[in-house]
A and B are shown apart, each in its own frame.
Chain A
Amino acid sequence: MRKSRRKNRKFLGLACGLSLLAATPVQALENPITINGFASAGFITGDLDASFYSGTDIIGDSATFGADNTIGLQIFSNVNDKVSFTGQLLAKGVIDSYSLDAHWAFVDYHPRSDLSIRAGRLVLPVMMVSEFVDVGYAYPWARPPMEVYSGIPLTSYSGIDMLYTAHIGDNNLIIQPYMGSIPASSNIGLDVKTDLGIGLNTTFQFEYGFLRAHVMQVKGVSGSDPSTGSGFIMDAQMVAIGADLEFGNVVVISEYIKKEFEFTGLEPFSEVSGEAGYLTLGYRMGKFLPHITFASGDNDVDQVSALDVALGQMTADPDFLAYMGTLSPAEQQALAADPIAALSDPAVQAGLVGAGIVTPSELQAFPSLAGMQLPPSPLAYKQTSITLGLRYEMLSNTALKLEYQEIEAQEESWGLFVSEPADKVKLASFVIDVTF
C-alpha cells in the first residue's frame, strides 16, 4: 500500500512539474524552441551465429531487424542572447530495448561568437564520429568501423567543456578541452561509472575538410556485469587522430587510436594495450556514394582464465573465509589444491550455497569458465574487416545504405564476437537514415 502511494506521489510530482513548465513564458523570445530529430531503421543478415560488439552496442544474434533502430529527439532553446539549453533524448533498439535516455542535456554559455562553455550531460568526443554516432545520416557507413569504435565503454558524461574557435586565415582551429565524470550508467552490458576524466579535442577545418587529434585520460573506471557480478576497475588513456577529407568527388576518411587500460583488483590480469585504425575511400557519383573500408583492431592483453577470476572473487568473499573455518584441514587442502573437483562435491556445493557465497547457477557455470579467456570482448580483441558500402540520397534528409562486410577474428581472439565466430563472418546490412 505504501509502495503504491509513493508511486502515486511520483505521478503527482510529474503532473506538478508539467504545470510549472507550462506556466513558464517560453513564448516570450523569438523562436524560443526548436525541435530536431533523427531516426534509423534497418536489418542485418548473414552468419550471425554470435552476438557482437559494435561501438557501444551489442548486436544480438537474433537481431535481424532492429539492430540499427534508433530515434533521437532534440530540443534547443534560447534562454537569452548568451545562454541556451540543448537536450537530446535517445532510444535505441539494441539491448536496452528502446528505453529513453537523456543522451545530451546541457546549458551553453556563449559570451562571444568564438567561445562556448557547456555544462551538464555531454558526450565524449573520443573518436571523430563519437559525438553523433547515433545519427546515421551524418556518416557514410551503416555503423562506424567497429574495430575503432568498440572497446571504449564510455559515452555520455557529466561535466563541462569549452569550444574555442581560432580563425587562422580562412581556416578554423577548434579547441575543445573537457572534464567530468560518468555517473552510473549502462554500457555494452556493463554497469559503468568513473571518478574523473579529462581530455582535449582539437579540430582543424580547412578547404578540403578537417583533421582532428584527441587525447583523454580517465581514472577509476569501474565496470561490473550485473548478470555475473564480476567487475573491474581501470585507468584508461587514449590518443586518437583522424581526417575527413573531400577532394572533388573523392572522399577519404581515416582514423587511428592508441589506447591503454590499466586494471586494478583483477589479478593477475593488469593491462590491455591496443591500437586500431581504418581507412575509408569513397567516390561521389551524384546521389550515390560507393565506398570501401579497411579496418583493423589489435589489442594485447595478459591472458588469464575466467575461472581464475571467478575463483578469485569467490575466495575474496569474507563469507568464504568464514566457511573455510568450518572445514577440516583435509577438506581445506582439497579445496585449495583442485577447486573444480572440490566444487563438484555435493557437500561443498551445499555449504557454499547455504552460506550465500555462490548461487546454484554460478556453481553450474564454473566448469565452463575454465576454457574461457578474460577479458573477453569488447576490451581485448584482434580483428580485421573489409566493408563495401553504398549510400544513396533517396530524398531530402533521407539516406539509404547497403553494406557488405567480411569480418575476420585474428589469432586466438574471438574478435568482437561474444562467442567463438566462424573463420570469416559475412554480414549484409540495410539501413534507412533520416533527420528532421
Chain B
Amino acid sequence: MNRIASYFSMAALLTLASGISSADVEFSGFASAGVVGGDLDVPLLSGRDVIGESSSFGADNTVGVQVAANVNDDISVKVQLLGKGTVDSYSISAQWAYISYEVSPSVSVRMGRMSFPAVLFSEYQEIGISYPWVRNPMEVYSVVPLATYSGMDILYAIEGDNMSWAIQPFIGSSPGVQALGATGDAELAFGITVMANTDNGKLSVTVANANEANFTFNLGGIDATLSMDLTYISAGIEYELNNLLLISEVVKKDIRNNPKSDFTSISDMVGYYLMLGYRVGDFLPHFTYAGSKSDHGSAVLPAGSTLPGVPASVYTTPADMIIPSNGELFLQKSYTLGVRYDFSSQSAFKLEYQKIIPDDESWGVYFANPGDSTSILSFAVDVVF
C-alpha cells in the first residue's frame, strides 16, 4: 500500500519534472529500460545489482528524479529519488539528499547523503545515458559495494588556462547499507578525489577508505560478521580525440581484517578495463576488455577446509564455498562489443554482446559455478528529461 503511494508520488513528481518548474525548485529525471538474454541460469553481480534468470526484463530498469532547490543565494538542496528494477524491486529511496553551501565561486561545502566517489562514474552509475555501455564494466564497478555515504565533502575548483582542477576531500559514515545479500555499514568513510579536466577529457585519481565496514551474513541460521577496513585506490581516464573515444579505469582494493570479524577476508584485488570507441555520426560502436586479478589466485576454498569462526555444520559442500562470498573476490576477464545510438539529444539505444570468462579457480561475478564461459546479450533504452 505504502509502495503504491510511493509510486503515485513518484509519478506525480515525474509529471512535474516533465513540465513545471518554479524559480526556486527545478526537476529533472532519467530512466532506463532494458532486456538481458543469454547464459543467465546462474545469477551474477553487476555493479551493485544482481542479475539473474528472472531479471531478464527488470535488470536495467531504473527511474530517477532529481530535485534541485535554492534555499537562498548561497545554499541549495539536491535530491535524487531512485527506483530500480533489481534487488529491491523498485522500492524508492533518496539516493542523494544533501545541502550545498557555496562559500565562494570556487569552493562548495556539501553535507548530507552523497554518492561514495570511489570510481569515475560513481555519481552517474544509475544514469545510463552518461556512459556508453548498458552497464558499467563489472570488473571495476562490482568491487565497490558502497553506493552512498552520509557525511560532508568540499569541492574545490581551480580554473587554469587550458585545464581545470577539481579537488574533493570527503568524510562520513555509511549506516545500514543493503549490499551483496547482507546488511552492511561502514563506521568511517573518507578519502579524496583529484580530477583534471581539459577540453578533450578528464583524468581522475581517488583514494577512498571505508573503515570498519561490517557485513553480516546469515549462514545456516547463524549470523556471521565480516568486518574489515577497505581502501580503494583508483585512477580513471576519459579521452576523446576527433572521433576516437577512450575510457579506462583501474581500481585496487586493499583489505585489512578487523579482530572482531568472524571471517578472514582475502579479497584484495585489482579490477581494470579499457574501452575504445569510434563515433560514426550518432552511432558509437565500442569494444571493452576488462579483467580482475588477485595475488591470492584462488577464490574457492580447498575441499575439506573451513573458514575461521564458522561452524563446520554450516557447510554443505565445502569445496563450493567462496571466500567469503561472491562479490568480495572474483577473478575473471570479459570482452564487450557494443553500439550506442543517440536517437535524440535526450535518449539513446544500446545493444551489447558480452563474453565473461571466469578464472579456473573462481566463479567470477557469478553466485555459483557458471561453467567455462558465458555470453550475455543486452539491450537498453536510456532517457533524460
Contact = CB atoms under 8 A, between A and B. Distances in A.
Q: Do chains A and B touch in the complex (CB under 8 A)?
A: yes
Interface of A: 1, 3-5, 7-8, 10-11, 14, 17-18, 21-22, 26-27, 32-35, 37, 39-43, 60, 62-66, 69-71, 73, 75, 87, 89, 91, 93-95, 97-102, 105, 121, 183-185, 359-361, 364, 395-398, 432, 434-436
A361 B25 contact: no
Contact of B175 (A66, A75, A395): A66
Nearest to B20: A33
Contact of A69 (B9, B112, B185): B112
Interface stretch (B73-81, B117-125, B245-253, B333-341): B73-81
Contacts of B89: 7
7 contacts: A5-B57, A21-B12, A64-B188, A69-B97, A100-B94, A396-B71, A398-B75
B173 A65 contact: yes
Given A69-B113, A434-B71, A87 B12 contact: yes
Contacts of B14: 18, 21
A37 B25 contact: yes
Contact of B173 (A14, A32, A62, A87): A62
Contacts of A17: 7-8, 11
Given A11-B58, A11-B61, A100 B93 contact: yes
Contacts of B18: 22
Given A14-B63, A436-B69, A100 B54 contact: no
B91 interface: yes
B294 interface: no
Contacts of A87: 9, 12
B176 interface: yes
Contacts of B92: 99-100
Contacts of A95: 176
B98 A41 contact: yes
Contact of B9 (A39, A89, A184): A89
Given A98-B93, A361-B222, A434-B77, 6 more contacts: A26-B20, A41-B97, A97-B176, A100-B10, A101-B2, A432-B111
A137 to B, nearest CB: 10
B221 interface: yes
Interface in B1-19: 1-2, 5-16, 18-19
B176 A42 contact: no
Given A17-B7, A41-B99, A4 B58 contact: yes
The CB with the most chain B CB atoms within 10 A, among A33, A41, A185, A396, is that of A41
A26 to B, nearest CB: 8
Contacts of A99: 91-93
B221 A66 contact: no
A323 B314 CA distance: 25
Contact of B15 (A21, A62, A89): A21
Contacts of A37: 25, 67, 69, 77, 79
Given A1-B54, A360-B221, A73 B13 contact: yes
A154 to B, nearest CB: 15
Nearest to A363: B221
B58 A8 contact: yes
A39 B67 contact: no
A121 B5 contact: yes
Contact of A97 (B10, B22, B70, B93): B93
A41 B187 CA distance: 17
B212 to A, nearest CB: 8
Contacts of B5: 102, 105, 121
Interface in B265-312: none
B111 A41 contact: yes
B315 interface: no
B55 A398 contact: no
Contact of B33 (A11, A70, A398): A11
B95 interface: yes
B94 A39 contact: no
B81 A93 contact: no
A233 to B, nearest CB: 21
A398 B223 contact: no
B188 A14 contact: no
Contacts of A97: 93, 175-178
B318 interface: no
A63 B212 CA distance: 13
Contacts of A34: 22
A63 B172 CA distance: 9
Contacts of A42: 111
A307 B166 CA distance: 57
B85 A63 contact: no
A121 B12 CA distance: 17
B172 A66 contact: yes
A105 B13 CA distance: 14
Nearest to A34: B22
B42 to A, nearest CB: 16
A165 to B, nearest CB: 29
Contact of A397 (B72, B95, B178): B72
Interface in B132-174: 149-152, 171-174
A22 B29 CA distance: 14
The CB with the most chain B CB atoms within 10 A, among A39, A91, A95, A183, is that of A39
Contacts of B199: none
The CB with the most chain A CB atoms within 10 A, among B74, B85, B111, is that of B111
Interface in B49-67: 53-58, 61, 63, 67
A225 to B, nearest CB: 16
Given A3-B54, A398-B75, A18 B99 contact: no
Given A37-B69, A89-B9, A434-B75, A18 B172 contact: no
B150 A66 contact: yes
Contacts of B74: 395
B96 to A, nearest CB: 9
Given A41-B112, A66-B175, A102 B6 contact: yes
Contacts of B1: 183-184
Given A91-B97, A100-B94, A360-B221, A60 B72 contact: no
A185 B15 CA distance: 27
Nearest to A23: B15
B220 interface: yes
B57 A436 contact: no
Contacts of B2: 101-102, 183, 185
Contact of B90 (A7, A64, A101, A360): A7
B111 A62 contact: no
Contacts of B95: 98
A75 B92 CA distance: 17
Interface string B87-117: 0011111110111000000000001110000
A235 B16 CA distance: 42
A21 B175 contact: no
A31 to B, nearest CB: 10
A39 B99 contact: yes
A14 B11 contact: yes
Contacts of B93: 91, 97-100
B94 to A, nearest CB: 4
